[in-house]
A and B are shown apart, each in its own frame.
Chain A
Amino acid sequence: DVVMTQSPLSLPVTLGQPASISCRSSQSLVHSNGNTYLVWYQQRPGQSPRRLIYRVSNRDSGVPDRFSGSGSGSDFTLKISRVEAEDVGVYYCMQHILWPHTFGQGTKLEIK
């Protein structure tokens, strides 16, 4: 199975400051078609997860542009340019190139 490793697991951030979450996979997530199948989710307390980013760097509709995804191969990053109170929650990366699809452990973002 592809192992997804996120860091940090806990991320205290001051409002208005940037935040960055790393996600590394044990294998390349690049498909033979050239696409890289890595997504990012946000799960606010008490809510279902919401997809933020698909194929590494494509923002979903309605996602604020302070969220951005980058990376390639097996090394990926989710960045929040200026953290707002509504960003509190747990963030997960997931690979969906190979079965079983696998998630990172989750990164809990909180406000300092």
Chain B
Amino acid sequence: EVQLVESGGGLVQPGGSLRLSCAASGFTFRNYWMHWIRQAPGKGLEWVANINPDGSGKYYVDSVKGRFTISRDNAKNALYLQMSSLRDEDTAMFYCVKDTEDWGQGALVTVSS
């Protein structure tokens, strides 16, 4: 059974940084594209970033370019999202997603002073 467990969410002040992690199990992690997708409170879904299986290809939505970095450790079956220069509008539930198919339960990031 595929399991994706996000961690690292929390309350951070504007301009601050946070690192999300996603622990993956139940599948051969190194074979799959992985995504971060977010959802602001009461709003729709927004794709944030993805990374190819070996980590050499990374893509971002314009609003996070230069501020967020997606990475993975295939030896640890882990996906990461390093977020810096956080803004109020980054407040959202962040989901780790395997290959558009399987979703984690999400990690809540709240940016507020």
Contacts and interface: CB of A to CB of B under 8 A. Distances in A.
Interface of A: 39, 41, 43, 48-51, 54, 60, 90, 92, 94, 96, 99-106
21 contacts: A39-B100, A41-B45, A48-B104, A49-B45, A49-B103, A51-B102, A51-B103, A60-B101, A94-B45, A96-B100, A99-B50, A99-B59, A100-B47, A100-B59, A100-B61, A101-B35, A101-B47, A103-B44, A103-B45, A103-B46, A106-B44
Nearest to B103: A48
Contacts of B95: 48-49
Main secondary structure of the interface of B (DSSP, over half): strand
B103 A94 contact: no
A92 B45 contact: yes
B44 A92 contact: yes
B105 interface: yes
Contacts of B46: 103
A48 B96 CA distance: 10
Given A92-B44, A94-B47, A103-B46, A54 B105 contact: no
Contacts of B106: 48
A109 B71 CA distance: 36
A94 B100 contact: yes
A100 B45 CA distance: 13
Contacts of A101: 35, 47, 50
Interface in B22-59: 35, 44-47, 50, 59
Nearest to B96: A48
A101 B44 CA distance: 14
A105 B44 CA distance: 6
B111 to A, nearest CB: 21
Contacts of A103: 44-47
Nearest to A6: B44
Nearest to B102: A51
Contact of A106 (B45, B50, B61, B105): B45
Given A102-B47, A103-B44, A105-B44, 18 more contacts: A39-B100, A43-B45, A49-B45, A50-B103, A51-B102, A51-B103, A54-B100, A60-B101, A90-B44, A92-B44, A94-B45, A99-B50, A100-B59, A100-B61, A103-B45, A103-B47, A104-B44, A106-B44
